[in-house]
C-alpha cells in the first residue's frame, strides 16, 4: 500500500465474501489492533475502502488504520492545514487563502509524514 503516512492495511479474504460470517475475521483483527492503540492512548484514523479482488473479482473490504500524534502536536500554523482524517484521506482544507496559495503536494506530504 503506497500511502503518504505510515499506516496499517487490513483486508478481507476472498474466501470470506459470502455468508453470515463475511468479515468476522477482518473485524476481529482490526478490533484487536484498535484496542491495542487505544490502550496505549495512540490517536488514530480509520478508513474503509472497497477493493475488487484481483483473483476473484469479488468486492472486498480494506481497512486502513493510520496511527498519529495527538492533534495538538501538529503545527497547523506552519503546515496551513489540520492533519485529521479528511486531510490524510486527500481532502485538504487550508486555514486561509494565503495558506492555500502556498500549499504544494510536497509541503502537504512532508507535513503529514512528520505527523
Share of the chain above pLDDT 90, in %: 12
Whether the CB-CB separation of 88 and 59 falls below 8 Å is answered with no
Average pLDDT over residues 66-84: 77
What's the whole-model pTM score? 0.65
Q: In this predicted model, what pLDDT tens digit does every residue of 26-42 receive, in sequence order? A: 888 899 999 999 999 99
Q: Is 6 exposed, middle or buried (0-12, 13-18, 19+ CB in 10 A)?
A: exposed
Q: Is the pLDDT of residue 3 over 80?
A: no
Q: In this predicted model, what pLDDT tens digit does every residue of 5-61 receive, in sequence order? A: 778 999 887 554 444 455 678 888 899 999 999 999 998 888 888 888 777 777 788
pLDDT confidence of 88, banded at 50, 70, 90? low
The average confidence (pLDDT) of the chain is: 78
Structure-derived torsion over alpha carbons of residues 17, 21, 23, 54, reported in degrees to the nearest 10: -20
Compute the radius of gyration of the chain from its Cα atoms.
17
- Between the alpha carbon of residue 107 and those of residues 53, 68, 85, 113, the distances in Å are 34, 18, 18, 10
Amino acid at each position: 500500500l503506497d500511502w503518504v503516512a505510515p499506516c496499517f492495511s487490513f483486508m478481507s479474504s476472498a474466501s470470506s465474501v459470502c455468508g453470515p460470517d463475511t468479515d468476522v475475521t477482518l473485524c476481529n483483527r482490526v478490533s484487536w489492533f484498535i484496542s491495542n492503540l487505544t490502550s496505549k492512548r495512540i490517536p488514530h484514523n480509520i478508513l474503509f475502502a472497497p477493493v475488487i479482488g484481483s483473483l476473484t473479482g469479488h468486492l472486498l473490504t480494506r481497512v486502513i488504520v493510520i496511527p498519529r500524534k495527538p492533534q495538538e502536536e501538529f503545527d497547523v500554523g506552519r503546515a496551513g492545514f489540520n492533519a485529521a482524517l479528511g486531510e490524510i484521506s486527500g481532502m485538504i482544507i487550508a486555514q486561509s487563502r494565503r495558506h492555500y496559495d502556498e500549499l504544494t503536494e510536497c509541503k502537504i506530504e512532508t507535513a503529514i509524514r512528520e505527523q
